[in-house]
Amino acid sequence: MNRFRGHIVRIETSGALSLVAVSLSGGVELTAVVIETPDSASYLKEGSPISVLFKETEVILSTGGATGIGIQNRIQGQVRKVETGDLLSKVSLETPLGALEAIMGSGELTSLGLAAGDQATALIKINEVMLSAL
């Protein structure tokens, strides 16, 4: 599980849903959609400390700028390590947040041609980001 600490900087609410923007280290901002509002969840307050979590299997990796893809959460990084398996592979990125892990199909890894030292972009959909109050 990828876990990073930050603080809430913005909340947009519509009905029972909220888009919550979290500022993390290195100038990275991630957004999560939650089925709660500031009225129903006391931790949803601007300035509140929060943990952002997402599974390694929910990270999409891209080379280049990843333009033309409708995913809001993007984190630039450098590949530190690649562990290739028969079916799945694990890629470790060094990012402004620190270490970030991604698990992907080995065939997709081969098609990207990622190796240690390469630049990559981690993409995480807003509905795959979880928040945890500190």
**Do the strands 98-105 and 73-84 form a parallel or antiparallel pair, or are they unpaired?**
unpaired
- Residue identified by tokens 């947009």 is 12
Q: What is the pLDDT of residues 59-76, one digit of tens each?
A: 999 997 667 788 999 999
Q: Are residues 103 and 47 in the same domain?
A: no
Q: Which domain holds residue 74?
A: 56-125
pTM listed for this prediction: 0.92
Q: Are residues 63 and 88 in the same domain?
A: yes
pLDDT at 65: 67
Q: Are residues 91 and 38 in the same domain?
A: no
Region 97-105: mean pLDDT is: 97
Q: Are residues 119 and 74 in the same domain?
A: yes
Q: What is the CATH number of the domain that holds 104?
A: 2.40.50.100
Please answer whether residues 109 and 89 qualify as being in contact, where contact means their C-beta atoms are separated by less than 8 angstroms: yes
d(CA 52, CA 31): 9
CA-angle at 51, arms to 14 and 23, nearest 5°:
70
Q: Are residues 73 and 120 in the same domain?
A: yes
Q: Which two tokens stand for residue 69?
A: 């893809």
pLDDT at 70: 84
Region 95-105: mean pLDDT is: 97
Q: Are residues 114 and 63 in the same domain?
A: yes
Total domain count, the chain: 2
Q: Are residues 38 and 85 in the same domain?
A: no
Q: What is the pLDDT of residues 24-65, one digit of tens each?
A: 999 999 999 999 999 999 999 999 999 999 999 999 999 976
Q: Are residues 85 and 118 in the same domain?
A: yes
Tell me the three state secondary structure of residue 62: strand
